[in-house]
Structure 1
Amino acid sequence: MTDAAGTAGRPIALVLRHDSAIGLGNLGPTLEAHGYEVRFLDAPNEDVTAVDPLAPDLIVVLGGDEGVYQADEYPYLADEIELLRRRIAAEAPVFGVCLGAQLLAAALGADVYRGPRKEVGWLGVELTDAGEDSPVRHAAGVRFVQWHGDTFDLPEGVERLAGSPQYANQAFRRGDWLLAVQFHPEVDREIHEDWLAAWGDELPEYGLSVDGMRELQASCGPAAGAASAAILGEFVEGLARRGELPRAS
């Protein structure tokens, strides 16, 4: 599936998905606008080890309920980490979101573990100086969905791009070919509704409600969607400049 060239020579973006409710959302149109043929691999149900780590032009690793430290229960997580290690060794482009960011941190040798308390809601992030000179600069002043309870130590050899009062490591990069974010740029209205249906019973613990989250999605969602497109768009444009992938037409 992943070792063939894309249709009509288009670059392939392989998306590692862990839950049907945690999809590509806002990020899909940006990939398509930049000429990618998007392919999905559902990690819990397909053989991750069958993937040639260097065949896709880009790998996108999405979120999930799993913890990186639960590889005994979810053995495909160890397979994903090994795949990512091999891509990292080759400096092959990769973009990680939430669990994807945590898997990248683990592949880079950092510890991943439970945080003191879940971070849930439509929340902003604070950029570092490096973040202001990176694709994550488009997150400035924007509120994104946060819905996670795990965090990670910052790996060696990366730049920290953003943090929040509760979780210091919200985004990092290595060079211009690896970008990872803890917050959720992919969440569009459909994904948001899926999450409210699946996990809305958690919200009162964080002073939130389903109706309140819907109001926040209506007010914050458009800006988050635009910022998400800008973050991923700038990242893949950087790949184009280094000769990895074509620019958007």
Structure 2
Amino acid sequence: MRINILQHTPNEGPGSILDWAQLHGHQTYIYHPYQFGYLPQASETDMLVILGGPMSPNDDLTWIKEERHLIQQLLNNDTPMFGACYGAQQITKTLGYPVIKAPAKEVGWAPVYLQANVISGIPEKLTALHWHEEMFEIPAQAQLLFSSSHLKNQGFVMNHRIVGLQFHFEPQSDNVREMVVNDFPYIKGTVLQQTAADILNTPVPAENKNVMFKILDYIMEGASLE
């Protein structure tokens, strides 16, 4: 199976998603549309992963609009999709929902709480990495999946094919270090009040990788039910 990954900044890579793909023998192709402007064809996409980035879906950039055109094609095809942060926002904006400023900027480690027992084996409370100041609305055809103390709309699940998260389960230790050392100015002014050292010194919970695997398994299970 071909998994196409859209990466939007050098320091926010797919992390444990690559481990999951390798475990199942899937081929991964990583695109950098912000730099090169190229996107995969819908016809060559068995699953799409849309990663985070410093841009907003509201930015008036050609490649961002073209990305949403691809997402719409894949929605029409019932193609499995996973979106993290900006990626989840792109999915909801494609569905016609606004992306707006969140009540508070969240950067750092903080708990998220499960709101729907749709995906088996996910704990009621998890510690996730947050790196955002905008938020999506939950589409009418989707279910709220996660919330946090500072933001209700932290995750959604839709049609057994699509999961979008406002936060990050995919980063591993080296990914977190890469995010912090390259984007440390963004840490200022956050409601979580964590420093770069606080974020770096917090171990990545081992269960985050397990949950990331469960989410991706669920998405692919939905595709296999056709």
Give the TM-score, by structure 1 length: 0.83
What is the CA–CA distance in structure 2 between the aligned matches of 1:54 and 1:178, rounded to whole Å?
A: 18
Bigger proportion of residues as helix: 1
Contact 1:170 1:183 (8 Å CA) reproduced: yes
2:27 matched to which residue of 1? 37
Residue identity in the other structure for 2:70: L
**1: CA distance, partners of 2:16 / 2:124:** 18
CA deviation profile, 1:113-133 (whole Å, cap 9, x unmatched)? 1223211211121222xx212
Q: Show the counterpart of 1:210.
A: 196
Q: Does 1:55 align with 2:71?
A: no
Tell me, which stretches of 5 or more residues in structure 2 are unaligned?
Answer: none
Matches of 2:10 and 2:83 in 1, distance apart? 17
How far residue 204 of structure 1 moved from its aligned partner, in angstroms, is 5.1
- Tell me the SS of whatever aligns to 1:145: strand
Question: 1:201 deviation in Å?
Answer: 3.4
Say if 2:108 and 2:129, in contact at 8 Å, map to a contact too: yes
State which of 65, 74, 82 in structure 1 corresponds to 2:54: 65
Structure 2 Cα separation of the partners of residues 78 and 15 of structure 1: 17
TM-score normalised per structure 2: 0.91
How many residue pairs match? The answer is 224
Name the structure 1 match of 2:68. 81
The equivalent of 1:132 in structure 2 is 117
Structure 1 runs (4+) greater than 3 angstroms displaced = 201-206
1:173-210 per-residue CA deviation (whole Å, 9 max, x = no partner) reads 22111111111011111110111112223435332122
Q: Quote the Cα distance in structure 2 between the aligned partners of 1:116 and 1:17.
A: 26
Question: Residue 81 of structure 2: which of 90, 94, 97 is its match?
Answer: 94
Q: CA deviation digits over 1:86-129, x for unaligned, max 9?
A: 1111211111111110000011111111223211211121222x
Superposition pairs of residues 91-130 of structure 1, within 5 angstroms: 91-128=78-115
Q: Provide the secondary structure at the position in 1 that maps to 2:42.
A: coil
After superposition, the Cα gap between the structure-2 partners of 1:202 and 1:57, relative to the gap in structure 1 and judged at 3 Å, is: closer
> What is the alpha-carbon root mean square deviation over aligned residues?
1.8
Greater Rg, structure 1 or structure 2? Answer: 1
Q: State the identity %.
A: 22
Q: CA deviation at 1:156?
A: 2.2
Is 1:23 aligned to 2:7, yes or no? no
Whether contact under 8 Å (1:189, 1:221) holds in the other structure is no
Deviation at 1:139, TM superposition (A): 5.0
Aligned mates of 2:93, 2:85 — CA distance in 1: 12
Alpha-carbon separation, structure 2, partners of 1:182 and 1:18: 15
Change in CA separation of 1:64 and 1:203 when aligned onto 2, cut-off 3 Å: closer
